[in-house]
Structure 1
Amino acid sequence: MNGFLEKFQKKDGTEGFVHEVAAVCVLAGKILLQNGAETFRVEDTMNRIANSYAVHDAQSFVTPTGIIFSIENHDVTQLIRISERGTNLRKVTQVNTLSRKVAQGEVNLTELQRLLVHIDRSTTAYPDWLQILAAAIASSCFLLMFLGKWQDLLPAFIAGGAGQGGMIYFHKLVKVKFFSEFMSSIVIGLIALASVKIGIGFEINKIIIGAVMPLVPGVPITNAIRDIMAGDLVSGLSKSAEAMLTAFAVGIGVTAALVLD
């Protein structure tokens, strides 16, 4: 590993190389932050990549909406704004694997940049139909976990799948996360009501609870607690607010459906 770093120091010990390292670090941080990684992981990954290429004294500041990366003793500062965030743990794992290979001296800077661009441009890990099917199956399982009746499996299956489908559709229609969550919750509530009225559903509360569970912001809540415990108060509090708004949108959507009845 030392020989690897010395090779880069001798060959590319220029300001241009430092700028390239900074750009690659920010790209890695951007992928992690956009796909559900906690703040500490984003900052640690960027710093480790910089140190692996013998670019020391790197400083990073990460919030849920932006990344600032700077290298002391060099005229290098990178700033990027994060406008969309989601959960794609596959991309997080891929970037983590790459960072470990970089630390072991197995990947050069050019190859790392190429691989990160490929990860960043890759489409959704799973097609829409598979996400809908997974949400439908998960909703049925949550129904049983909350001691619902076996007769309510089908309504929960349909409501959960329709809710996920609505989430995908409304998010493509309007790029406002809370709007899509609100509308998909209304869809779930209306399907639960209809299933009870036509006689294929029995416990509307259990059906709704099971169907909305895939919409619950589990990863943001976990990351918020993790960030607060690590001392990243800005990120932790903002993620907590985002999670609460998501829960509020889901609750209001279900309530609106019941009121419409």
Structure 2
Amino acid sequence: MATLLLLWTVCLLYPGRIQGSSAVSRVFVLKGEDVRLEVQKPELLRGDILLFSWTFKSEDTVVGLPYNAEPRVNKNYTGRVELPIKNYSLGLKNLQEADSGVYTAQVIGDKNHRVAEYNVTVQERVSPVNLTVGSVSSSSDSCNLTVTCSAQDSSISSTVTCDTQTCSQEGGERSEGITSDASLSVYLSSTSIICNRSNQVSRSEDMKKIEHFCPRVPASTSSHSWAIIIVVAVLVVVCLLLVIVGCIVLRLRRRRCQTSSQKRPTCESGSHS
């Protein structure tokens, strides 16, 4: 027991001295949610393995599992660690932004090494966005819109130009990368302008229909037009097939009448009918 206590103390004071390497996995968690960090190949505690532990930022030992003893949880994580720990995975509850960092699973024994490592990022839910149309100018064959996509701490503008067939966009794209809190962008869909703010765990959108500002743009009716064209084309093909089949049947019937003189009156009377 004294050896285990000494080992636990060493682990608390010098967790960063454990050697070894493992691939670091990125995990994004919504603030206030829970997370489970798995060990893909669990290390079974046996005689030559004295302690299995999870550390945070190579500074704090979150939980230790001594050989043949109960798990020991750091007092700073009391009530936040899910126990019992199945397969030596780490379950954390109610994560906050201060919980962002690298969590490492390691084994202390005859051979000390890391068996799992996760870079956890805790993010807040993104704030709502608002899409506004600042100005509209139109003519007989085109329409120009100036739109602004706004969030709590930033905004972005774009110009949308539409003719009677299509719409195009200038500006409005902004992507701040995977490590930023959130990205903000405004872009076109087939019939709408969309303002989007998102991070790895949440997203917020606002949308405006183009036809509300550019009535001459046929975007909302184009799908109906295509549907009508397709229906008419199908009907024409069906009619042609019926005509072809009718001609083939009539030709076969005439041939039978010509090769069978006994049935000719019947065929002639049938053809007149």
Bin for the TM-score computed over the shorter chain: under 0.3
Q: Select the structure that is richer in strand.
A: 2
Q: What is the TM-score of this pair, normalised by structure 2?
A: 0.26
Q: Select the structure that is richer in helix.
A: 1
Greater Rg by CA: 2
